[in-house]
Amino acid sequence: MTPNSQATQAILRDPSNFQWYIIPLLLLVLYVYANEVQHKRWSVILGGLALWGMDWFNEIWNSLFLHFTNFAPCWGLAKNSCFIILTGLNIEICFMFAIMGIVFLKQLPEDKDMKILGVNNRWFMSVVFSLLAVFVEILLNLAGALVWEWGFWNIKFPVFIFLLGYFPFFVVAFKVHDMENRKNQIRAVLGILGFDLACLIVFGGVLGWI
């Protein structure tokens, strides 16, 4: 296991690193969702939660990747955090993804069929947001905040970061957002979050792999 992975595992879910700045971050997330509830933008809320759930799924398999390789996750943390939840997920990142879906969905045109540069706006915006997210990750890596230790997941070959790390998030978010039946939206979100919870219980609580 790499030194960085060992260091992260040593403080995994250690509450002694608590910092007060996490409280206003939590309030910011609550404010964002409260504002959407106030305006009854349920599709935005459910789409945002779907993206958040997709990130949890990614973080779970990333932790399992470390477990089975016993070397390094695809992406790891290298800076101090208020609370590290999984090997590549801290509470700050968790809050960020809770808001990211809301930000993305509020940029989508009301017309689902409108095209941008000849491409359906939903797919176009998903590509744009994914590219922006990859660019930010590269900056974080260069700043030493994120660690990439595999040849297939690094600054020289960011294809998988785009295809696995972000693009599916935004696609699922707009798919859920655009569902016309509210019950189907709720079922989709509960399915994603329910699967995440089951994985956390089995792989974390029962097996202790993550």
- Strand pairing category for 146-147 and 84-86: unpaired
pLDDT (average), residues 172-200: 98
Please classify residue 40 by burial: count the beta carbons closer than 10 Å to its beta carbon, then call 0-12 exposed, 13-18 middle and 19+ buried. exposed
Is residue 107 within 8 A of residue 125, CB to CB? The reply is yes
Could you report the per-residue pLDDT of 73-102, keeping only the tens digit for each?
999 998 778 999 999 999 999 999 999 999
Task: Give the total residue count for the chain.
Answer: 210
Kindly give, in sequence order, each residue whose CB lies less than 8 Å from that of residue 81, ignoring residues fewer than 6 positions away.
17, 90, 91, 92
- For the record, the structure tokens of 114 come out as 């409108």
Residue 74's pLDDT is: 97
Q: How far apart are CA 153 and CA 75, in angstroms?
A: 8
Lookup: tokens for 62: 């990333």
| Short-list 165, 140, 154, CA closest to 55 | 165
* Sign, Cα dihedral of 27, 41, 57, 201: positive
For the chain, the domain total comes to 1
Residue-wise pLDDT for 114-167, tens only, equals 999 999 999 999 999 999 999 999 999 999 999 999 999 999 999 999 999 999
Asked if residue 103 lies in contact with residue 30, where contact means CB atoms within 8 angstroms, the answer is no
Q: What is the pTM of this model?
A: 0.94
Identify the CA nearest to 158 among candidates 143, 129, 142, 138.
138
Question: Which residue segment(s) compose the domain that 192 sits in?
Answer: 3-206
Q: What is the pLDDT of residue 132?
A: 97
The CB density around residue 79, as the number of other CB atoms within 10 Å, is 12
Give the integer Cα–Cα distance in Å for 88 and 76: 5
